[in-house]
Amino acid sequence: MGDDCEEEWPGDPVEVNHQVEAVVRSVVHDDELQELSVFWARESYMGGREDWYTATMPDERGLWVRVIARGEEFCSNVWSPVLDVGPGWRGALCDLAVMLEDWVCERKFARGQNRTAVVPPDLHEPNTDD
């Protein structure tokens, strides 16, 4: 990975959602997926709706993903300013990919299947808009 992987944030919230959803959908099939939510919450988020936020990320919030597939739930902090993940945003997506692969192969709907999550290759195109 090059220096472009050190970028900490892709900037556009729509692109953030798109990238997280792409990783999830690469390992959870459409006929299995019941819910996919990408949202901002406090670091202490434990599933209570009172902790949910929709806004641009201030320092105390992290990006979370919640997946329900065939009745089984996956919920994880994807990125935050305090997480120690791989290099920047791409590292966070790679960590998410690994967690999803491990989770899926242990679920009833995909037990023992070796599914490989895909992290989109073009995550760090520089934003040249002023």
- Do 96 and 79 contact (CB within 8 A), yes or no? no
The pLDDT of residue 41: 74
Q: Report the amino acid identity of residue 35.
A: E
Per-residue model confidence as pLDDT tens digits over 66-90: 999 999 999 988 887 666 555 678 8
Tokens describing residue 60: 């105390």
pLDDT value at residue 22: 95
Query: Of how many residues is the chain composed?
Result: 130
5 pLDDT higher than 90: no
Give 59 or 101, the one with higher predicted confidence: 101
Q: What is the pTM of this model?
A: 0.74
**Can you tell me the distance from the alpha carbon of 94 to that of 22, in angstroms, rounded to the nearest whole number?**
12
Q: What is the pLDDT of residues 110-128, one digit of tens each?
A: 888 889 999 987 554 433 3
CB 79 within 8 A of CB 63: yes
Is 37's pLDDT higher than 60? yes
Instruction: Give the pLDDT band (50/70/90) at residue 130.
Output: very low
Q: How many CB atoms are located within 10 Å of the residue 108 CB?
A: 9
Q: Is residue 51 predicted with pLDDT exceeding 50?
A: no
Tell me which H or E stretch contains 23. Answer: helix 13-27
Amino acid code (one letter) for 8: E
Helix (H) or strand (E) holding 34: strand 33-42
- 122: which residues sit within 8 A by CB, 6+ positions away? none
Cβ atoms within 10 Å, residue 67: 24
